[in-house]
Structure 1
Amino acid sequence: MTPAFATIPGTAPLRLVVVGAGVMGRHWMRIVSETPAAQLVGVVDLDTEAAAQAAAASGADVISGASLTAVAAETGADAVIDVTAPQAHRAVNVEALRAGLPVLCEKPIAPTVAETMALVAAAELTGQLLMTSQSRRYYPALARLKGMAATLGDIGIVTTEFFKAPHFGGFRDEMDDPLLVDMAIHAFDVARYLLGAEATSVDCRSFNPSWSWYRGDAAASADFAFDGGARYVYTGSWCSPGLETSWNGTWRISGENGTAAWDGEGEPVSDPAVVPADGPVTARSEIAGALDEFVRALRTGGIPSGEVHSNIHTIAMVEGAVRSARTGHRVALDGVLENAYTAALADERDADLRGVLASWGSAGDAVARLR
């Protein structure tokens, strides 16, 4: 099924409300202010003082408050950017969608696949666009790497190596699986983008080095099988000082006709050298590129890469990797989706959303629908 959503005709800047006035929320506000096709009109946070301060700091005529519905109505908002904590995404997204507002949500769109399925149901029920910002898809160099990969014939293996040593403090230091859940999700999503396919299973092992400053496992290696036979292998650590990789990691794509590689910062290279076929290239990187695609989708009806129906497969890769690491066994991702669908049906208390979930008929039908 191709998901459909309401578009917003016209050429005036989209009027946006940002929910979440923390550091990342303020970063999003700056990006909105730099985007001619968008206008910041509201800031929402349960901490009304933080919301007011962020609104004042924006330098624009921005209304703030604790209620998304109230601020959106007062400002005449066209759409919402959800920059709250992942545990709040479901409530914020559903409130916005039910108010007739499309949403661009920070990753992960929900903490679990089951909650993501509930959000898919909310998007279908309301007919509004729900998109997540998988911001690391948006690099011109990455688009060129994908173009190079298209010249390599059948792909055998894609690898990512990621080694950084950031001292964040805060919630990441206390997470059960900080690397897999908060960082590797980006690489897993990029692998889907590069291969144009979905993962079918994963064998993952995670651990925490003796010197790690994280409570949960900060290092992992994951081996994914993909539709079509390609393998994707991710190896990374968030407590690896010295000779660090870029934040995008280093990538290698090996195919029957050659190899392409990217260091995550400069230009990709290939052997034999090729000029990549024309492909989708975003002018702006990271969250600015995500915002541009969100606006473009709402104007044209084109399906953005982070649309919730597609993004559920990225969430399933993360959940499958965590499950594999904890059980010590390869995990089939169809099983992850089926278990999540069963849980979503059992846990949903909203009759309308439960009705949409039930209309899919079975986990198999749900997976086919989401693709």
Structure 2
Amino acid sequence: MALHKVVVAGCGGMANEWLDYAAQRENVEIVGLVDLFEEAAKKMAQKRGLNVPTFTDLSTALSQTGANLVFDVTIPASHKQIATTALQAGAHVFGEKPMAETLADAQEVLAVASGSGKRYSVMQNRRYLKHIRALSSFLASGAIGTVGSLHADFFLGPHFGGFRETMASPLILDMAIHTFDQARFLSGADPVSVYCHEYNPAGSWYAGNASAICIFEMSDGSVFSYRGSWSAQGAGTSWESDWRVTGSQGTAKWDGDNRPVAEVVEGEEGFIRPGKLVEVPDIWTGREGHFGCLDNMFEALEQDRPAETDCTDNIKSVSMVFGALESARTGQKVML
């Protein structure tokens, strides 16, 4: 079993979950910690009991440690620089979303990854939940016929404080990629176009647009609609959204917390055709969340194949975010 010598870039709170994972994997060795503020790296090393060197520069860390893999848990503004530096130095990268802060930067990172011969996989932990895996398999089985539309409602009122409350587009830019990526995962289709209206409703404590409505046309002819708000107080949905998927022979629903349910049409007569409840079986035996996604990343790396959330796939979810922002800015439908 190959040894993965890992440098962790970014020593904020998010690094802990990645380090928890690394501690459980026999063929992973943490060989260095990098942070712009070296004191943060030193504190993390002490907290985790890691006897490893600390750095403020990733290139130096890679050359001095011989690392062949970088965990990028830096802030989004640093993702492009961290990923390209690591890939050009001959290291693979597993990183937090998003790939970059603009679509052009994400495409540049993709080009570097493609030319480097190394893997760059992006954390999309919300694909790795047993209920969404169950719903995805159920839809792929054709149990409700051909999927015509997917609808996701996301309504929460988190008071984060800090940078999110000053962003121009906090909901779309910081959160919606999770739901957009889930729509691709559930439908098995990719986005073709988007129309988006962003707004900031009365009572919002955000400076920017905390609410949005988006309509995506997908490559299989289906439509994905998204209604979301980060300033909706009361009667909140789950963080996974509240989903309805309609097919030619029935409908599936998932509230994001509990097991999905479905109703399939019976018979071919009647003004409203009768339906019967159908069980959506739980089929996922893997781990959930970050650990499930990291399991897939390592398995793919060791089998020399792209991970499910490889950058060549994740760029399509990134395009949904920046396409939505462009549509909101111009008031026009944007082709993706």
TM-score, length of structure 1 as denominator length: 0.82
Partner residue, 2:152: 160
Q: Identify if the C-alpha distance between structure 1 residues 311 and 260 changes in structure 2 by more than 3 Å, giving closer, same or farther.
A: same
Q: Distance in 2 between matches of 1:36 and 1:274?
A: 42
Shift of 1:25: 2.3
TM-score, length of structure 2 as denominator length: 0.91
Partner residue, 1:208: 200
1:66 has 2:69 as partner = no
The counterpart of 1:226, out of the listed 211, 218, 236, is 218
Per-residue CA distance 1:122-149 (angstroms, 9 max, x = gap): 1122100011112211112111001111
Partner residue, 1:353: none
Give 3-state SS (helix, strand or coil) of 1:23's partner.
coil
The counterpart of 2:90, out of the listed 89, 100, 109, is 100
| Larger relative contact order (CA 8 Å, sep ≥ 6) | 1
The counterpart of 1:41, out of the listed 27, 31, 36, is 31
Partner residue, 2:273: none
The counterpart of 1:284, out of the listed 283, 287, 291, is 287
Cα-Cα RMSD: 1.8
Give aligned-pair identity as a percent.
39
Residues 129-278 of structure 1: matches in 2 within 5 Å?
129-150=119-140, 151-272=143-264, 273-274=277-278
Partner residue, 1:123: 113
Shift of 1:67: 1.9
Does the CA contact (< 8 Å) of 2:193 and 2:334 recur in 1? Answer: yes
Q: Identify if the C-alpha distance between structure 1 residues 15 and 195 changes in structure 2 by more than 3 Å, giving closer, same or farther.
A: same
Shift of 1:106: 0.8
Per-residue CA distance 1:169-211 (angstroms, 9 max, x = gap): 2211111110011111100011111111111111111111221
2:5 maps to a residue whose letter is: R
1:113 has 2:80 as partner = no
Give 3-state SS (helix, strand or coil) of 1:242's partner.
coil
Per-residue CA distance 1:20-75 (angstroms, 9 max, x = gap): 11122233223332444533332110100001101111123333211222223433
Does the CA contact (< 8 Å) of 1:208 and 1:218 recur in 2? Answer: yes
Shift of 1:110: 0.9
Give 3-state SS (helix, strand or coil) of 1:43's partner.
strand
Q: Identify if the C-alpha distance between structure 1 residues 166 and 39 changes in structure 2 by more than 3 Å, giving closer, same or farther.
A: farther
Partner residue, 2:15: 25
Give 3-state SS (helix, strand or coil) of 1:111's partner.
coil
Q: Identify if the C-alpha distance between structure 1 residues 278 and 264 changes in structure 2 by more than 3 Å, giving closer, same or farther.
A: closer
Give 3-state SS (helix, strand or coil) of 1:124's partner.
helix
Residues 256-335 of structure 1: matches in 2 within 5 Å?
256-272=248-264, 273-274=277-278, 281=284, 283-333=286-336
Greater shift in the superposed pair: 229-238 or 269-278: 269-278
Q: Identify if the C-alpha distance between structure 1 residues 305 and 271 changes in structure 2 by more than 3 Å, giving closer, same or farther.
A: same
Give 3-state SS (helix, strand or coil) of 1:241's partner.
coil
Does the CA contact (< 8 Å) of 1:17 and 1:79 recur in 2? Answer: yes
Per-residue CA distance 1:137-163 (angstroms, 9 max, x = gap): 111211100111122221111011111
Does the CA contact (< 8 Å) of 1:19 and 1:84 recur in 2? Answer: yes
Does the CA contact (< 8 Å) of 2:71 and 2:93 recur in 1? Answer: yes
Greater shift in the superposed pair: 36-45 or 216-225: 36-45
Per-residue CA distance 1:301-331 (angstroms, 9 max, x = gap): 2321211111111111111111111222211
Per-residue CA distance 1:69-115 (angstroms, 9 max, x = gap): 22234333231111112221111111101111100111111112211
Q: Distance in 1 between matches of 2:105 and 2:227?
A: 27
Q: Distance in 2 between matches of 1:322 and 1:35?
A: 39
1:205 maps to a residue whose letter is: H
Partner residue, 1:364: none
1:292 maps to a residue whose letter is: D
Q: Distance in 2 between matches of 1:201 and 1:269?
A: 29
Does the CA contact (< 8 Å) of 1:138 and 1:282 recur in 2? Answer: no
Give 3-state SS (helix, strand or coil) of 2:157's partner.
coil
Q: Distance in 2 between matches of 1:39 and 1:209?
A: 48
2:289 maps to a residue whose letter is: E
Structure 1, unpaired ranges of 5+: 1-9, 334-371
Does the CA contact (< 8 Å) of 1:30 and 1:58 recur in 2? Answer: no
| Alignment coverage as a number of residue pairs | 322
Does the CA contact (< 8 Å) of 1:94 and 1:119 recur in 2? Answer: yes
Does the CA contact (< 8 Å) of 1:148 and 1:274 recur in 2? Answer: no
Q: Distance in 2 between matches of 1:73 and 1:288?
A: 28
